[in-house]
Amino acid sequence: MPRKKQQPKSNGSGAAPRMQGFIAGAGEIVSQEIHDTLRQNFMPYAMSVILSRAIPEIDGFKPSQRKILYTMYKMNLLGSARTKSANIVGQTMKLNPHGDAAIYDAMVRLSRGYEALLHPYVDSKGNFGKFYSRDMAWAAARYTEARLDDICRELFRDIDKDTVDFVDNYDNTMKEPSLLPAAFPSVLVNANTGIAVGMASSVCPFNLAEVCETTAALIRDPKHDIFSTLQAPDFPGGGQIVYDAEAMRQIYQTGRGSLRVRCRWTYDKAENCIDIRQIPPTTTIEVIVEKVIDLVKQGKIKEITDIRDETGLDGLKITIDLKRGVDPDRLMQRLYKLTTLEDVFSCNFNILIAGVPRVLGIRELLEEWTAFRVECVRRRTYFDLSKKKEKLHLLYGLKAILLDIDKAIRIVRETEEENDVVPNLMIGFGIDETQAEYVAEIRLRHLNREFILKRIEEVESLEKEIRELEEILASKKRIERIIIDELTEIAKKYGQPRRTLLLFADEIEESEPEESVPDYPVNLFFTREGYFKKITPLSLRMGGEQKLKEGDEIVREQEAANGAELLFFSDKAQVYKAKAADFPDTKASVMGDYIPAKVQMDEGENAAAMCVTSDYNGFVLFVFENGKAAKVDLAAYRTKTNRKKLIKAYSDRSPLVAALQLPEDADVLLTASSGRMLLFNTGLILPKTTKDTQGVAAMNLKKGQRIVDAHIFREGELQNPARYKKKIPALGALPNGEEGTAQLSL
C-alpha cells in the first residue's frame, strides 16, 4: 500500500515546520523539531567522542591506545620476540572495531621508531616514519614488526590481581580493562592530544624522573613546591623552551596556557652553514624548509644561499648555507620571528576523571593519579590477602591430618563410595569441605611426613604475611609508602636526562631584529607609465641610453641609499610601501620593474607618483584637477607595523594631477587647460596630518577648465616669474611670446 503523504502543519505564521522526518516502520511522515533531532542524534555522538575516543583518562591513554597495548600484552609480546604489526592490528580489532588503518595509525604513534614519545610503549622494527616529517610516511603493517617496550611492565604491573575493573568488549565476547594500573603518572610523561566535540585536550610531556620525584614529594607533603622538582615540560624532540615563569605558573595552576619552544642549532664555521638538529614539536621539516624558501623568494631573507633537508640515519638535520660575512645569531633571531623554528605549544590538560572531563592543573592531576594508584594498590593488597588466607586455610586442614596420617588413609580405604570420601574426612578430622577436598586430592607419593612438615612450615610465614597485608589495608600511609618506593624504583630504572633545554625569557633580547641591508648609493628612476629602475652610480656611468617603453618618459629621478623607503601612490588614492633594497640592481638598458605588478596593486590600478625617504621628514603636496592642493606631512605615512598598503592615501574627490615630495617649502608652478599659469609658495598652505584631506583652493578655474600640470618651479624656467606669482587662490596669468609657446607644449 503506498505511503500517504501528510500536508505540513501550520505553525501559526503560515510557514512549514522547521524540519520533517519519519518514524521508522510507522509508514507516515511526521514533523519533528530540529532541536529534538539534534538532542536525540548529535548529543549521543558527542558524548561517545568525548568519553570513548578523543580525551585521555587518568592512566594517560585514550581507549584506542589502551586496547592496542592490552592486546599486545595478551599476545605475550612483553619481553618476547616481535611479531608482524598486521598480526597485532588484526587481534586488536576484537576490541576496537574502527578499522585496521585507524588502529595501525594509533600504534605507530606509540612506537619507538616514530619518536613522538619520551618513553615509547611499542618497541618497533622497520619503517615507522617520523613525527617531525610530513613526507616520511610509515610502511604498511605487513612489513613492520613490534612488541611491547620494557616500560610497559610498569603499566601492566599486577593487572591480573584485580587492580582495575574489566568490562565487556563491543560484542560481549571478551573482557578488557577500563584503565591500566600504571605505576607511574604516565598521563604527564608522554604527550597526548585529542579533539572531541566542543572540547579538546593537549597534554605536554614531562621528564619521567622529575614527574616521579614530584609525585613522591607531593605524597609526603601536599604543600610541596612543584616548581622545585618539576621545572618545565620535556619534549621528545628536544629543542629549547623560552621559560616564562608567569606563563609556566599559569599552566601548572590552571592546566591551560602556552609556552614558546625554539629549535637547537649549531654554526659550522668551516662550511659557513647553520645545522638545525632539533625543532619544536608543533612543526615539521617540510614546513620550515618551504617557509624559508618562500622568504628568500620574496626578498625578505637575503643572507641564505641554500637550504636542504639532510635528515638520515643520524637523525633530523636541516642545513642552511650562508653568504659570506653573515652573522648567524642575527639571522636566527630573524628566522625565529618569521618561521616555525620558534613556535607555540598550547596546553589544555583536559582529562577524563571518573567519566567526567575536567581541566586540571599539575597538582590536582597528580593528586587524582595518586588517588587512583592508592585504589590500585589497595585492590592488589586485598587480592593477595584473599589468596594467602585461602592457602592458609588449606594448610590448617593439612595440619590436622598430620596428627594421624594412618587414620586418614584408613578412612579413604574403608569408604565404599567415592563421593563419601570428603564427608568422612570432614567427620573424622573436624575439617570443612574445602580442606577435606584438598587433603583428598593429595597424591599417594606425597603422603609422607617430610612433605606434610614442609607444607606446615609455610603456616607461620603465611600468618606473618597476612598480618602485614592487613596492616597495609588498614593504613593509607603504608599504601602511600609503597607507591613512593615504586616511583623511586621506576625513576631509577627508566629515568633519562632532560632533552629540552631552558632559556629564561628575561635573559633573551626580545628587540625586533633589524634586517641586514647593504647600504650603498643608488640612482632611482620612475616613469610615467609606472616602471621603476634602481641603478648603481658605476653602472649608470658605464650604461648607455635609458631603455623605456614606447611613449614613456622618466618623471622622477633621485639619488638615494639602498636602504631608502619608497612610497608608490596609485591613481586609486592608495599608497604602497616598499624598500629600495627590495628591488634588484639593474642597468639603463633594461626596462625595469612594473610597479603595479611588483607591489601587487589592485586590478586596474596604476602607479601615479613615487616618494623616496629615509626619515619621513618633509611633506607631500597633492595637486588635483579641480584646482585644489593639499599639503600632508610625510610622517603621516610612517607605520609601526610592517604594513605594505595604506588606503585613503589622499583625497579622491578629484583626479590627481601630481604628488610632489618637498623636504621644505618651495615654489610650485601650476598650469591650467586654459593655458593660464600660477606660481605660488607652498608655505601658504598649512600642512595636515589627515592623509585624505581635500586641501584648499590654489587656482581659480572657470567652468570646464582643469589643472593639467604641476611641478616644482626651476630657476630660469620663466622669463618673468613675478608675473605669475600670486597669493592663492588666484586665477593665474596667460603666458605670452616664446614663453607661452614653451609652456603650452607641456
pLDDT at position 402 over 90:
no
Quote the mean pLDDT of the chain: 88
What digits encode the pLDDT tens for the residues 444-492?
777 777 777 777 778 888 999 999 999 999 999 999 999 999 999 999 9
According to the model, what pLDDT value does residue 350 have? Answer: 95
Report the Cα–Cα distance between both ends of the chain, in Å, rounded. 91
User: In this structure, which amino acid lies at residue 61?
Assistant: F
According to the model, what pLDDT value does residue 7 have? Answer: 45
Contact predicate 472/381, CB 8 Å:
yes
According to the model, what pLDDT value does residue 415 have? Answer: 86
Could you write out the DSSP letters of every residue in 230-242?
--S---TT--EEE
pLDDT at position 511 over 60:
no
| CATH of range 61-181; options 3.40.190.170, 3.90.199.10, 1.20.1270.10, 3.40.50.2300 | 3.90.199.10
Instruction: Compute the distance between CA of residue 229 and CA of residue 249 in angstroms, rounded to an integer.
Output: 14
What digits encode the pLDDT tens for the residues 38-84?
778 887 888 888 888 889 999 999 999 999 999 999 999 998 899 99
Sequence ranges of the domains in the chain: 1-32, 61-181, 209-364, 372-494, 517-614, 621-630+661-746
C-alpha cell read off for 136: 616520511
What digits encode the pLDDT tens for the residues 363-397?
999 999 999 999 999 999 999 999 999 999 888 88
According to the model, what pLDDT value does residue 716 have? Answer: 82
C-alpha cell read off for 191: 604527550
Contacts of 235 (CB under 8 A, 6+ apart): 118, 191, 204, 205, 261, 280, 281, 345, 499, 500
Q: Which residues pair with 200 in a beta bridge?
A: 195
According to the model, what pLDDT value does residue 745 have? Answer: 43
Instruction: Compute the distance between CA of residue 68 and CA of residue 362 in angstroms, rounded to an integer.
Output: 27
Q: Provide the CB-side half-sphere exposure for 700 (13 A, CA).
A: 8
C-alpha cell read off for 169: 568488549
pLDDT at position 338 over 70:
yes
Residues carrying an active site annotation: 143
pLDDT at position 742 over 60:
no
Alpha helices by DSSP H, listed for 50-174, are: 63-74, 85-92, 100-109, 152-155
Higher pLDDT, 431 or 506: 431
Contact predicate 623/657, CB 8 Å:
yes
Contact predicate 349/201, CB 8 Å:
yes
Q: How large is the average pLDDT for residues 75-102?
A: 94
Give the CATH number of domain 209-364: 3.30.1360.40
- 372-494, CATH topology level: Topoisomerase; domain 3 (1.10.268)
pLDDT at position 263 over 70:
yes
Q: How large is the average pLDDT for residues 325-335?
A: 91
Tell whether omega for the bond before 729 is within 30 degrees of 0, i.e. cis. yes
Q: Three-class SS of residue 164?
A: coil
pLDDT at position 741 over 50:
no
| CA angle 490–492–493, rounded 5-degree value | 65
Contact predicate 85/139, CB 8 Å:
no
Contact predicate 60/187, CB 8 Å:
yes
According to the model, what pLDDT value does residue 648 have? Answer: 92
Residue 582 per-residue DSSP state: G
Distance set, CA 398 to CA 384, 386, 387, 418, 451 (Å): 21, 19, 17, 20, 11
Distance set, CA 94 to CA 145, 321, 503, 681 (Å): 20, 53, 48, 91
According to the model, what pLDDT value does residue 714 have? Answer: 87
> Cell match 574445602: residue?
434
According to the model, what pLDDT value does residue 509 have? Answer: 58
| CA angle 24–29–33, rounded 5-degree value | 90
Instruction: Compute the distance between CA of residue 445 and CA of residue 627 in angstroms, rounded to an integer.
Output: 127
